[in-house]
């Protein structure tokens, strides 16, 4: 197959890249592992999409503050300055997403075609100094991604191949010429004038994650193996409030965790330990609305100290304001009067494949957007409700530039198809290896890390990757390549963490577990002093 632009991934960043490239007249092929919208992390996004209102400098300041002052100023300026225009163009005018409106709701009553604050029921989440978040209840991602996929499916110039796995990038003298694809049990090359990676995050590298299954770091690993620059992999963000069935006495044995949106705290919910004590005011001046990394560390410590943390929703009309979340709680038998048991869970990779303001990587004709890309916007910690926006802004910019670079320029190159000479492995093989991987990452590369723990993690991960590579040399399957990619991504995280000082969501603690200095820093920002302070 050939295409002007090959897009790998079908979340909001991949869809935005495909739309933008098609608008430029490119022939676009979207290849995705997903078979349903809910297979993409964008579909799971709850809170919403932050948009500049009357004070763009305030929005930019919030992003920088949440990042522990490590965000790239030019990237932040790009995100903030383009947020209104791209949201109005793509989400409102093209897709007609019906964000909750003042006096209306998710049915679109009183909705308009602009992002003016007077028209929409704007939410506030942790780290934001004002209300600026467009949302549809607490299920914004699904209301954005599904119409996006429907629009692309009906659009001329865009082909979508689902249930297909990108295996490796095709390169020729430092130039990316497409990728090898596994679909319907067959491997074939896709030659492209330009390739956009939009494969999402690394949730499957951890035992507990808010990501959907299949978030195995594919784009990061493929790019790294092809020689692209990868940056800031140590910055793995943990969401503070994922439902925790392990400490819920009402939970069934098979109860599954789910994300409890930051917007719930934005509306007044509070965090309490097993003794009923509200602990966040003692940690940070913004209490429950402190930056996400600060809250996650505080919740983790409170759970370790008392055995349980709950999100107290008694001061708000939870069922009225968050009906989708209330339904999830009801499905799992959560006693809302007693609070929602929560624990931190891996949530978002702030680093990834290094890109510029147009999504260009260090390899010619290779672009990246969304969670697999390191744009510099998030620095060491992401501000709530900026992931969909980043994917949208950089997806559009990458798609436009990829179309200009790749239109009419897909060339077939020589490639060696992967060997598939040995018998297939049982499903339990990958499951067992992923279990080992998740336990290693949770224990040693989690919310708080020690130098010795990171050394242990690197040794274990190298051994695991060696085992996986030995099997992958003579077998081709989605599971074995996902496992390879997850091992590569995990090693990149552990290596980067071992070489970097604490900042944002990368928190190094003393080998004896001392956290006194960490807590005092949390009162101001939530990080230990950096070497250059």
- The token pair at 131 is 């209300």
- The one-character DSSP state at 205 is G
From 124, 208, 292, 405, active-site residue: 292
32 Cβ contact list (under 8 Å, min separation 6): 8, 9, 10, 14, 39, 40, 160, 161, 162, 164
Cα–Cα dist 241/247, whole Å: 13
CA-nearest of 377, 528, 389 to 63 is 377
390 token code pair: 């980043």
The answer to whether 91 touches 97, Cβ cutoff 8 Å, is yes
DSSP state of 286: T
What DSSP line would sit under 26-79, residue for residue?
A: --EEEE-S-SSGGGSHHHH--S-EE---S-HHHHHHHHHHHTTS-S-HHHHHHH
Bridge partners for 129 per DSSP: none
Sign of dihedral through CA atoms 268, 528, 378, 435?
Answer: negative
Q: CA-to-CA distance for 221 and 479, rounded, in angstroms?
A: 14
Cα 284 to Cα 66, 127, 214, 296, 470: the distances in Å are 13, 12, 35, 12, 48
Total Cβ atoms within 10 A of residue 514 = 9
Q: Report whether 55 contacts 131 (CB < 8 A).
A: no
Q: Spell out the residues 6+ positions from residue 415 whose beta carbon is closer than 8 angstroms to its own.
A: 170, 180, 189
* Two structure tokens written together for 496: 């980067």
User: Is 23 noted as a catalytic residue in this protein?
Assistant: no
8 Å CB contact between 32 and 10: yes
Distance CA 308, CA 343 (A): 8
Contact in structure between 445 and 497 (CB atoms under 8 Å): yes
**Residues belonging to the active site:** 292
């Amino acid at each position: 197959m050939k295409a002007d632009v090959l897009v790998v991934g079908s979340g909001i960043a991949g869809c935005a890249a495909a739309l933008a490239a098609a608008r430029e007249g490119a022939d676009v092929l979207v290849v995705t592992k997903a078979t349903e919208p809910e297979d993409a992390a964008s579909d799971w996004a709850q809170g919403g999409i932050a948009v500049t209102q009357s004070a763009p400098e305030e929005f930019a300041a919030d992003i920088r503050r949440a990042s522990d002052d490590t965000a790239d100023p030019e990237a932040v300026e790009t995100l903030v300055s383009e947020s209104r225009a791209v949201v109005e163009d793509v989400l409102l005018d093209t897709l007609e997403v019906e964000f909750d409106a003042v006096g209306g709701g998710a049915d679109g009553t009183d909705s308009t075609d602009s992002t003016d604050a007077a028209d929409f029921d704007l939410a506030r989440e942790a780290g934001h100094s004002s209300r600026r978040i467009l949302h549809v209840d607490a299920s914004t991602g699904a209301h954005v991604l599904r119409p996006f996929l429907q629009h692309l499916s009906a659009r001329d110039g865009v082909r979508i191949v689902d249930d297909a796995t990108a295996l490796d990038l095709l390169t020729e003298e430092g130039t990316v010429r497409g990728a090898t694809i596994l679909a319907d049990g067959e491997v074939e090359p896709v030659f492209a004038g330009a390739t956009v990676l939009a494969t999402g995050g690394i949730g499957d590298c951890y035992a507990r994650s808010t990501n959907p299954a299949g978030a195995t770091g594919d784009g990061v690993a493929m790019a790294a193996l092809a020689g692209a620059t990868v940056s800031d992999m140590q910055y793995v963000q943990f969401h503070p409030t994922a439902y925790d069935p392990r400490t819920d006495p009402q939970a069934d044995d098979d109860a599954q965790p789910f994300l409890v949106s930051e917007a719930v705290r934005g509306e007044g919910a509070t965090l309490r330990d097993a003794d009923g004590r509200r602990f966040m005011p003692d940690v940070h001046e913004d209490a429950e609305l402190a930056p996400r990394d600060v809250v996650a560390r505080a919740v983790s410590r409170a759970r370790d100290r008392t055995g349980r943390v709950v999100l107290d929703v008694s001061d708000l009309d939870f069922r009225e304001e968050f009906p989708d979340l209330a339904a999830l709680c009801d499905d799992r038998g959560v006693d809302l009067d007693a609070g929602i048991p929560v624990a931190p869970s891996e949530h978002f990779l702030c680093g990834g494949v290094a890109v510029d303001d147009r999504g260009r990587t260090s390899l010619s004709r290779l672009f990246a957007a969304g969670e697999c890309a390191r744009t510099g916007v998030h620095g060491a910690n992401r501000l709530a409700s900026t992931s969909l926006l980043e994917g949208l802004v950089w997806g559009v910019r990458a798609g436009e530039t990829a179309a200009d670079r790749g239109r009419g320029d897909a060339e077939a190159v020589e490639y060696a198809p992967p060997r598939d000479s040995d018998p297939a492995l049982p499903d339990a093989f990958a499951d067992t290896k992923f279990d080992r991987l998740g336990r290693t990452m949770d224990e040693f590369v989690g919310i708080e890390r020690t130098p010795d723990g990171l050394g242990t993690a690197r040794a274990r991960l190298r051994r695991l990757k060696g085992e996986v590579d030995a099997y992958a040399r003579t077998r081709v399957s989605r599971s074995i390549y996902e496992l390879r990619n997850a091992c590569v991504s995990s090693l990149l995280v552990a290596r980067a963490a071992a070489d970097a000082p604490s900042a944002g969501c990368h928190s190094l603690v003393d080998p004896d577990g001392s956290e006194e200095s960490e807590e005092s820093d949390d009162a101001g920002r939530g990080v230990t002093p950096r070497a250059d302070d």
